[in-house]
């Protein structure tokens, strides 16, 4: 009802002021963070989904390496079992004593190049019998991995990496984290294109199930988006199975059949019913030290790449930024993981799984318990070989198609750290653009040169030097991260305005473990071990 006096019209409501979105040091809208596990049935299913996702990398690395080493299906099945078993142990060690993040530790593509370098070493050319050649190359790989593991153990557990990463700002973290995901573009759509009639439907189904159906149905519980990988892989595998039994690939080239058919793994018949991997299991060949510098270069690249992925995992788990001491501790335990890789003989080192980091984003579940359950699945199915091999009928190509999603999620979380930076600063624009461009361009040059010439741009008489240079500069996140870190810490660093432009002040309270109370909740060691191993 109108009041008396003053008949003028009421003033128009004030328009909302246009303000930017607020900065968040923890990612909102995550359903379950590190310390809040979902109900047990849901946690077990989510853990199984993490296991399925890491199968892609677990299968593709031995599939690429073992035949070149001289091994057949039997050796390939045993290497896959061993890689799964050790990945389960390393994931548990990382979640209990490392960073304590929900990070899956699995086989790393970074170690493929030095392993191939060992395979091509001249000393193995005279070994004619394939199985004997496989054993000798495996022992050479084991020796190199054991030596390379010491680099990460020393750099991490000595606190050296803590002293480096305390100078990491949000600006220098952007290229590092972003290219930890985007830098794997060569493993994304090219994998889809190997069998495009299955790959494209897989991407479309995954998008529909995870992004459209949840908003169309309005279900009480998030089922489709949370378990989208299980639904998608099952549907696409059935589709590929019907194509296979229908004879669609009967007269296709062998390469097409390998990537498209559902009956080409050759692992079920080769896998034993029960087998527990153990250290030095590859018979009693003498342990050899082959290409140690190449493997140590890969281990150093792994330190940088894992730093980017750990930061991504902490973000998607809705944790606070990693204190440098916790990050350094995680790198040390990752080095212990590579030591186990060498002792057991996995043919490859290990690192944080980028695919599983992306899965945290897809499910919005960053629970530590879920990842520990997935580690249990890894160990269980690696021991019961036949059951694990039956699951591998899904084959790595169907699981690998999901990586387009997961790499994109990790890359995008790197870009999200720009919220802490001043994007109107020309200094910010230069560092950001130059580091990302060089991170993509330099490795592209090294990879193209190698594919044409058969050797890398560094081609001197000192093979150890060639290995180090060619491996270091073939990694996108390594190049981008190093360039951004150097420029950010040398260009006008002491200017107070620049300090704010680079977002350094936002992470000040996370430089030490004790300056933020939430560090205790997310990163403190279990069993009251912080008393004996305090974080600083």
> Is residue 320 included in any domain, yes or no?
yes
CA 418 to each of CA 254, 340, 532: distance values in angstroms, whole numbers, following the listed order: 47, 37, 37
CA 187 to each of CA 370, 404, 521: distance values in angstroms, whole numbers, following the listed order: 26, 8, 36
pLDDT at position 392 = 65
Pick out the chain residues at pLDDT < 70.
Answer: 1-17, 263-271, 284-287, 385-398
Helix (H) or strand (E) holding 213: helix 213-217
Structure tokens at 156: 């991490």
> Is residue 470 included in any domain, yes or no?
no
CA 37 to each of CA 42, 95, 98, 366, 521: distance values in angstroms, whole numbers, following the listed order: 9, 14, 19, 8, 14
Bridge partners (DSSP) of residue 32 are: 365
Are 476 and 176 in contact by the 8 Å Cβ rule? The answer is no
Nearby residues of 334 by Cβ (< 8 Å), 6 or more positions away: 90, 94, 98, 105, 152, 156, 302, 303, 306, 350, 351, 352
71-84 tens-digit pLDDT: 988 888 889 889 99
Output the CA angle 295-299-305, nearest 5 degrees.
Answer: 140
Are 131 and 369 in contact by the 8 Å Cβ rule? The answer is no
The number of distinct structural domains making up the chain is 1
Residue indicated by tokens 């359903």: 31
Structure tokens at 338: 């590579």
For residues 225 and 271, give the distance between their C-alpha atoms in angstroms, rounded to a whole number.
34
CA 260 to each of CA 169, 188, 239, 370: distance values in angstroms, whole numbers, following the listed order: 45, 16, 11, 31
CA 163 to each of CA 49, 94, 157, 477: distance values in angstroms, whole numbers, following the listed order: 36, 21, 12, 20
SS3 category, 150: helix
Burial class (CB in 10 A: 0-12, 13-18, 19+), 25: middle
> Is residue 185 included in any domain, yes or no?
yes
* CA dihedral sign, ordered 463, 464, 469, 475: positive
Are 241 and 262 in contact by the 8 Å Cβ rule? The answer is yes
Least Cα distance to 311 among 185, 422, 180, 439 occurs for 180
Least Cα distance to 86 among 297, 279, 390, 341 occurs for 341
pLDDT at position 487 = 97
CA 57 to each of CA 53, 122, 373, 467, 508: distance values in angstroms, whole numbers, following the listed order: 8, 28, 19, 24, 36
Structure tokens at 470: 């060619």
pLDDT at position 4 = 47
Which domain does 88 fall in, by range? 40-421
Number of residues in the chain: 536
> Is residue 477 included in any domain, yes or no?
no
380-399 burial: b if 16+ Cβ within 10 Å, else e: ebbbbbbbbbeebebbbbbb
> Is residue 134 included in any domain, yes or no?
yes
pLDDT at position 528 = 83
CA 186 to each of CA 234, 451, 453: distance values in angstroms, whole numbers, following the listed order: 25, 14, 20
> Is residue 386 included in any domain, yes or no?
yes
**Phi and psi angles of residue 107, each rounded to the nearest 5 degrees, phi first:** -60, 150
For residues 77 and 90, give the distance between their C-alpha atoms in angstroms, rounded to a whole number.
20
Q: Are strands 105-107 and 350-352 parallel, antiparallel or unpaired?
A: antiparallel
Output the CA angle 326-165-106, nearest 5 degrees.
Answer: 60
Residue indicated by tokens 């003989």: 345
Q: Report how far apart the first and last C-alpha atoms of the chain are (Å, whole number).
A: 65
pLDDT at position 1 = 43
pLDDT at position 189 = 86
CA 212 to each of CA 206, 314, 404, 406, 412: distance values in angstroms, whole numbers, following the listed order: 10, 27, 18, 18, 20
| Strand intervals (E) in 310-394 | 350-352
> Is residue 433 included in any domain, yes or no?
no
pLDDT at position 334 = 97
Half-sphere exposure of 223 (CA within 13 A, CB side): 8
pLDDT at position 266 = 57
> Is residue 35 included in any domain, yes or no?
no
């Amino acid at each position: 009802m109108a009041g008396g006096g003053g008949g003028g019209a009421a003033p128009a409501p004030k328009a909302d002021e246009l303000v930017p979105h607020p900065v968040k040091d923890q990612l909102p809208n995550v359903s379950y963070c590190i310390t809040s596990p979902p109900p047990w049935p849901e946690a077990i299913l989510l853990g199984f989904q993490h296991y399925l996702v890491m199968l892609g990398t677990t299968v593709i690395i031995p599939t690429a390496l073992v035949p070149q080493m001289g091994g057949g299906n039997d050796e390939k099945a045993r290497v896959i079992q061993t890689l799964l078993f050790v990945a389960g142990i390393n994931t548990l060690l990382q979640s209990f004593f490392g960073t304590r993040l929900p990070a899956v530790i699995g086989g790393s593509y970074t170690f493929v190049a030095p392993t191939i370098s060992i395979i091509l070493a001249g000393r193995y050319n005279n070994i004619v019998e394939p199985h004997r050649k496989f054993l000798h190359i495996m022992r050479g790989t084991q020796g190199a991995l054991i030596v390379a593991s010491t680099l990460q153990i020393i750099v991490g557990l000595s606190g050296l990496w803590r002293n480096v990463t305390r100078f990491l700002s949000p600006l220098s973290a952007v290229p590092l984290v972003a290219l930890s995901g985007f830098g794997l573009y060569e493993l994304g759509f090219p994998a889809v294109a190997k069998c495009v009639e299955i790959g494209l439907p897989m991407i479309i189904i995954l998008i529909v199930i995870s992004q459209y159906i949840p908003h169309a149905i309005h279900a009480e519980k998030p089922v489709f988006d949370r378990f989208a990988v299980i639904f998608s892989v099952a549907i696409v595998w059935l589709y590929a199975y019907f194509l296979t039994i229908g004879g669609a690939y009967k007269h296709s080239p062998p390469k097409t059949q390998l990537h498209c058919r559902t009956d080409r793994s050759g692992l079920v018949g080769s896998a034993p019913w029960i087998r527990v991997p153990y250290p030095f299991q590859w018979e009693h060949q003498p342990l050899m030290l082959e290409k140690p510098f190449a493997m140590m270069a890969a281990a150093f690249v792994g330190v940088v790449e894992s730093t980017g992925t750990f930061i991504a995992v902490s973000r998607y788990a809705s944790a606070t930024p990693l204190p440098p001491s916790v990050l350094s501790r995680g790198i040390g335990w990752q080095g212990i993981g590579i030591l186990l890789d060498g002792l057991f003989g996995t043919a490859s080192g290990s690192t944080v799984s980028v695919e599983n980091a992306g899965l945290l984003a897809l499910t919005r579940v960053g629970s530590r318990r879920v990842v520990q359950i997935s580690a249990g699945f890894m160990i269980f199915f690696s021991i019961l070989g036949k059951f694990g091999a039956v699951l591998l009928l899904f084959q790595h190509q169907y699981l690998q198609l999901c990586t387009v999603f997961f790499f994109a999620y990790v890359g995008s979380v790197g870009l999200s750290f720009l919220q802490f930076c001043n994007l109107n600063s020309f200094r910010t624009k230069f560092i950001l653009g130059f580091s990302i461009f060089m991170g993509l361009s330099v490795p592209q040059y090294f990879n193209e040169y190698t594919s044409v010439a058969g050797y890398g741009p560094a081609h001197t008489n000192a093979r150890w030097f060639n290995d180090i240079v060619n491996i270091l500069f073939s990694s996108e996140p390594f190049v981008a991260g190093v360039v951004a870190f150097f420029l950010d810490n040398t260009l006008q660093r002491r200017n107070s305005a620049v300090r704010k432009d680079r977002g350094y002040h936002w992470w000040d309270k996370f430089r030490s473990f004790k300056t933020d109370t939430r560090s205790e909740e997310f990163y403190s060691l279990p069993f009251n071990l912080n008393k004996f191993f305090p974080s600083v």
